[in-house]
């Protein structure tokens, strides 16, 4: 096991990602933030907190999306669905999807399918903490990236959060 990012580095990276989003979406008027269940929520919660700190008094439209039944492996293994909570329209809005790790691209493909059930966005962008760029199976690339990791397919990249895992760090294991 090797630590790729420690808690301090993750905190700084989250601030940077939030500011990069603000650079492209100034006041978030026509922008919505969607965190992907289950593990993308920890990152999206923290990015939304940072956005709210940077824009006091502004409303940040923030929702969470479960993609369980949109996955292409849903028939192979039984999954327990999580909650989806999007209580606003995404029709003609700019959507920033947030997830912890971009690996094969299949989760994001499923998220795009699920998102269309809530309307037709004007644009969709992707924000990830970790991009495993050489493992892609679909032509999906992030717009905002915390760190790029070139890991072997046999290696696992895990993002741990204090709220769930008792520590906040990104590790790589064999």
Torsion from C-alpha of 79, 62, 172, 167, nearest 10 degrees: -100
pTM of the model: 0.94
pLDDT in tens, 115-157: 999 999 999 999 999 999 988 999 999 999 999 999 888 899 9
Report which of 85, 84, 91 is spatially closest to residue 116, judged by C-alpha positions: 91
Fold adopted by 8-153: Rossmann fold (3.40.50)
Strands 156-160 and 169-173: antiparallel
pLDDT in tens, the chain (174 residues): 999 999 999 999 999 999 999 999 998 999 999 999 989 999 999 999 999 999 999 999 999 999 988 877 756 666 677 889 999 999 999 999 999 999 999 999 999 999 999 999 999 999 999 999 988 999 999 999 999 999 888 899 999 999 999 899 999 998
Torsion from C-alpha of 16, 17, 23, 29, nearest 10 degrees: -130
List of residues 6+ apart from 92 with CB closer than 8 A: 30, 119, 120, 121, 122
């Amino acid at each position: 096991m090797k630590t790729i990012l420690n808690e301090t580095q993750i905190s700084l990276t989250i601030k940077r990602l939030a500011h990069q989003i603000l650079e492209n979406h100034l006041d978030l008027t026509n922008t919505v933030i969607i965190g992907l269940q289950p593990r993308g929520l920890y990152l999206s919660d923290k990015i939304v907190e940072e956005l709210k700190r940077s824009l006091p008094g502004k409303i940040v439209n923030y929702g969470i999306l479960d993609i369980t039944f949109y996955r292409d492996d849903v028939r192979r293994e039984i999954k327990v669905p999580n909650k989806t909570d999007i209580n606003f329209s995404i029709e003609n809005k700019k959507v920033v999807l947030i997830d912890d790790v971009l690996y094969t691209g299949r989760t994001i493909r499923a998220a795009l399918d699920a998102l269309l059930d809530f309307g037709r966005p004007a644009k969709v962008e992707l924000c990830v903490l970790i991009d495993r760029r050489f493992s892609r199976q679909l032509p999906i690339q992030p717009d905002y990236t915390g760190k790029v990791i070139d890991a072997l397919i046999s290696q696992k990249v895990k993002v741990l959060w204090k709220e769930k895992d008792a520590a906040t760090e990104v590790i790589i294991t064999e």
